């Protein structure tokens, strides 16, 4: 969640294709992203950039070099769904006790991540041209 100003505007009638092109611009292989690959395979849209017609500026060789990391919340969720906490998945995520998950996410993001990391990123972004434009709305 580090904003990057790239001054591109994407538009499409195919929401799968626009997500695929956005992923490619960020430096990812769209077909390696599960929801894009599944949508493509089910005929819900086109996720293979070779099959998407781009109109306008040639951005076919752009790579913004984005990187991904798992946050503490994502790591915890993956440990429950696929890791050492899997035996507890049913009680933690499929019972009345599951209310802990959104509460834990809110505590992490609102009490830890935003004050220590997010606020400065948003302030920095708001000083850009796009941040100024967002401020007008």
Work out the burial of residue 24: count CB atoms within 10 Å of its CB; fewer than 13 is exposed, 13-18 middle, 19 or more buried.
buried
Residue 1 lies in a domain: no
Same domain as 109, residue 78: yes
Domain end, chosen from 36, 68, 100, is at 68
Q: Could you report the per-residue pLDDT of 50-79, keeping only the tens digit for each?
A: 999 999 998 988 999 999 888 888 888 899
Q: Using 50, 70 and 90 to split pLDDT, how confident is the model at 2?
A: confident
Do 89 and 39 share a structural domain? no
CA distance readout (Å), 108 to 7, 56, 102, 111, 118:
32, 41, 10, 6, 12
Encoded tokens for 31: 């077909």
On whether both 91 and 38 belong to a single domain, the answer is no
**CA separation for the pair 2, 65 (Å, rounded):** 12
Neighbouring residues of 49: CB distance < 8 A, sequence distance ≥ 6: 20, 21, 24, 30, 60
H, E, C per residue of 18-80: HHHHHHHHHCCCHHHCHHHHHHHHCCCCCCCHHHCCCCCCCCCCCCCCCCCCCCHHHHHHHHH
**Tens digit of pLDDT for each residue in 76-127?**
889 999 999 999 999 999 998 888 888 988 999 999 999 999 999 999 999 9
Tell which of 52, 68, 84 closes a domain: 68
103 and 48 co-located in one domain:
no
Q: How many domains does the chain have?
A: 2
pLDDT at 34: 95
- Do residues 63 and 110 both lie within one domain? no
Let me know if residue 54 belongs to a domain: yes
The verdict on 90 and 54 lying in the same domain is no
* Tokens describing residue 105: 């996410």
- At residue 70, the pLDDT reads 80
End-to-end CA distance of the chain: 21
Question: Is the domain of 60 the same as that of 77?
Answer: no
Looking at the structure, do residues 74 and 62 belong to the same domain, yes or no?
no
- Residue 20's domain comprises 8-68
């Amino acid at each position: 969640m580090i904003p990057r100003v790239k001054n591109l505007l994407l538009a499409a009638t195919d929401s799968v294709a626009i997500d695929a092109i956005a992923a490619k611009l960020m430096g990812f292989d769209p077909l390696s992203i599960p929801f894009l690959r599944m949508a493509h395979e089910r005929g819900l849209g086109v996720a293979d950039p070779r099959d998407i017609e781009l109109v306008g500026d040639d951005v076919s060789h752009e790579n913004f070099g984005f990187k991904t990391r798992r946050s503490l919340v994502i790591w915890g969720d993956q440990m429950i769904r696929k890791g050492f906490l899997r035996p507890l998945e049913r009680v933690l995520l499929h019972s009345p006790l599951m209310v802990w998950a959104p509460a834990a996410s809110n505590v992490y993001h609102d009490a830890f991540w935003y004050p220590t990391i997010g606020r400065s990123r948003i302030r920095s972004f708001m000083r850009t041209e796009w941040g100024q434009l967002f401020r007008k709305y």
